[in-house]
Homo-oligomer: A and B are copies of this chain.
């Protein structure tokens, strides 16, 4: 399907008419507002707000001129579906009302953090990742903790340090265990030596908040998931090793997590539903509240690239897929609310590192270099890595393709590693921080 207003918007484009991802953009000194990526352009939803609100009961014009997507996200899924239908009609030209004046070029726009993130949670839902980490730290026989196959293990993260694509990160400095084998020797202070990325995706919660004490059921889960983005959950492995008992990761994880700017909805992903690589969940079968009658995930190709000071170009270091998750997004949300936790539109829930069974599909340097025991080649460049070096640029991409459907891409999330002590200043766009002069 093509868009008469945007010639670049073919079915092969990552922002085809199947996609229609939401983002917050601005142009020049204009205010940040809601847009939809269409080919190389952006449809400015505030410029056609009355067309949309008249087609979608409940939607307010102010929702579309807001500097965050929280208002759009907080509507019911019926409103999201109505809006998608209205946009599809307008963009394909089957409904009149749009003109070239409603669009801006992506190259002329500044992107902003898509939502005010109330709470950020990170899960640990790839069985391969949890097993790899478990083998490295506890041995093959105790790789998975006893609870892992019974519930989606997760922890609360830090919302203030969720930044947008393009944000540079500073190598953190903190306490490190003095003797790597003997914690009783205490700690020293210094820069992280085992800096890592984590290849993740994350979803934004949507819909009306559940009252405290009320669980979200499996049947309700999809109505509370607005859409997905790419997530690089930057990690400091050596800081984590020392600090994390008994209450979990803290400073190792709270200094930067970066996301891609376009939020891809579940409706856009519908044609790409796929079985998870785990097959059925039978051994053990999940408790009834966690049993998903449509158990599965989405077939989203994921890749991680590194451009170092010692390479000419960005080189692929990992290729994974979202279907590698054992616990899916619905199970994550349902479990998050099982004790009655109130979930609000704009909350962000990360998948955990998405590793596949094959070594080329591992989603972190920790696994790719197997705790520093092997070198990871950066393509054919001759350069190698164990953990990340200062000056490395790390980029993640996500993409869905299927015969008969328009392509659904996630764009990218990328950022540079700056040396310890570097200073950041606000960049263009809310939620973007870059190297200071």
Interface residues of A (CB under 8 A from B): 118-119, 124, 145-147, 150-151, 153-161, 163, 167, 169-170, 172-175, 183-184, 186-189, 192, 209, 211-215, 236, 239, 242-252, 254-256, 284, 287-289, 335-336, 338-344, 347, 418, 422-426, 433
Contacts and interface: CB of A to CB of B under 8 A. Distances in A.
A186 B284 contact: yes
Given A161-B341, A288-B189, A289-B189, A156 B153 contact: no
Contacts of A256: 212, 340
Given A156-B157, A156-B158, A212-B170, A248 B251 contact: no
A418 B213 CA distance: 10
The 3 closest A-B pairs by CB, nearest first: A248-B248, A170-B213, A172-B339
Nearest to A344: B160
A345 to B, nearest CB: 11
Nearest to A246: B145
A261 B335 CA distance: 31
Copies in the complex: 2
A150 B215 CA distance: 39
A360 to B, nearest CB: 26
A187 to B, nearest CB: 5
Contacts of A424: 211-214
A338 B169 contact: no
B124 A247 contact: yes
Given A150-B187, A155-B155, A212-B256, 11 more contacts: A124-B247, A147-B187, A154-B247, A154-B250, A160-B344, A172-B338, A213-B422, A213-B433, A214-B423, A248-B248, A251-B336
A146 B172 CA distance: 22
B158 A254 contact: no
B255 A156 contact: no
A183 B154 CA distance: 18
Contact of A156 (B155, B214, B239, B426): B155
Contacts of A284: 186
A184 to B, nearest CB: 5
Contacts of A244: 246, 248
A339 B239 contact: yes
21 contacts: A145-B183, A147-B245, A151-B187, A151-B243, A154-B250, A155-B155, A155-B247, A156-B158, A156-B254, A161-B341, A169-B213, A170-B212, A172-B213, A175-B338, A188-B287, A192-B339, A212-B256, A213-B433, A214-B423, A247-B248, A255-B339
Nearest to A340: B255
Contact of A341 (B118, B255, B289): B255
Contacts of A254: 156, 336, 339, 341
A170 B340 contact: yes
A38 to B, nearest CB: 32
